[in-house]
Amino acid sequence: MNLSANQISAAVAESVAVVRAGWAECPRAAIILGTGLGSLAQHITIEAEWSYRDLPHFVRSTADGHRGRLLAGRLAGVPLIAMDGRFHAYEGYAAQQITFPVRVLAALGAEFLIVSNASGGMNPLLRSGDILLIDDHVNLMGNVGRALLPVSSEETGKSARPTFYDPRLLALAERYAADERIRVRRGTYVAMLGPNYETRAEYRWLRTHGDVVGMSTVPEVLVAHELGLPVVAFSMVTNVFRPDDVQQTTSEEVVNAAANAEPQLRRLVTKLLTSGH
Ligand code: HPA
């Protein structure tokens, strides 16, 4: 798949029409629920839902801990639209396919995008269950720039140092975390293609470049930036790398740790949604 700008807008319009046929509200925000954080969906009062299978141009979610449905409804009374499960490059999908839903979420009128993911902690101060507020990234995923439309990739190229993570939302998230006594830290997310967790040698190399490592988020964030949709991104640290530890990370460990830490993230997300910023 490599669609032109016109083809993409036509495809987005088709998906939006399907959503609009079942839900007429304007979402305050959109949220992408990553690995293990799908349990946040249980707290959404669902008004309409679609399997990705039933949405035009959406591909399928195949990763562990990803349900594969779009939810429309309310969290703490505020209208929102949520992706329960996302798409990854390691599933074999092209950048345009992974990021297509972000274009739909923006077209539905979300004011901002909340992104969540699970990650491996590399900064020695991080513990399993910590929440990292992503304030920058290192993109080692390869050709995800192909998700962008040609015209905007030119513009992106022109801006010397793009800020992909909205400073105002970051500051608010930090303030709310302090109010709620939730420990958060700001840091850099390193995006790898996966699907394997990093080797010990890779971790040793990567930890000099970022605080956590994961396999998602960057494609969606690049497209949100192209669309002018402000992003706040939370990374749930589900496993930590210690150089002298010989244990391997497993996907079960990651999914369980994310589920355990979900209540704190839910409180933060609810606060961001309900506050009048
Ligand atoms: N590496 C990459 N992705 C991840 C990890 C990790 O250690 N943990 C959760 N997602």
Instruction: Give the distance (Å) from ligand 1 centre to CA of residue 124.
Output: 15
The average pLDDT across 208-218 equals 96
CB atoms within 10 A of CB 109: 14
Taking the CA of residue 241 as reference, the ligand 1 atom at the shortest distance is 7
pLDDT digits (tens, 9 = 90+) for 99-124: 999 999 999 999 999 999 999 999 99
Most confident residue range from 58-62, 153-157, 233-237: 233-237
- pLDDT recorded at residue 70: 96
Instruction: Give the distance (Å) from ligand 1 centre to CA of residue 189.
Output: 11
Taking the CA of residue 214 as reference, the ligand 1 atom at the shortest distance is 3
pLDDT band at 252 (very low <50, low <70, confident <90, very high): confident
pLDDT at 78 over 90: yes
Taking CA atoms only, the protein residue closest to ligand 1 atom 9 is 119
pLDDT band at 64 (very low <50, low <70, confident <90, very high): low
**Residues near 260 by Cβ (< 8 Å), separated by ≥ 6?**
129
Q: Which residues line ligand 1 (CB under 6 A)?
A: 118-120, 197-198, 213-215, 238-239, 249, 254
pLDDT at 147 over 80: no
Instruction: Give the distance (Å) from ligand 1 centre to CA of residue 172.
Output: 26
Coil/strand/helix, residue 140: strand
CATH 3.40.50.1580 fits 5-274, yes or no: yes
Taking the CA of residue 117 as reference, the ligand 1 atom at the shortest distance is 10
**Cβ pair 157, 226 in contact under 8 A:** no
Spatial distance between the Cα atoms of 118 and 66, rounded to a whole number of angstroms? 12
pLDDT at 135 over 90: yes
Instruction: Give the distance (Å) from ligand 1 centre to CA of residue 136.
Output: 17
DSSP secondary structure string for all residues of 155-209: HHHHSSS---S-HHHHHHHHHHHHHTT--EEEEEEEEE--SSPPPHHHHHHHTTT
Q: What are the extents of the domains in the chain?
A: 5-274
Instruction: Give the distance (Å) from ligand 1 centre to CA of residue 192.
Output: 9
Poorest-pLDDT segment among 9-18, 48-57, 66-75, 115-124: 66-75
Taking the CA of residue 120 as reference, the ligand 1 atom at the shortest distance is 7
CA proximity to 147, closest of 9, 2, 16, 31:
2
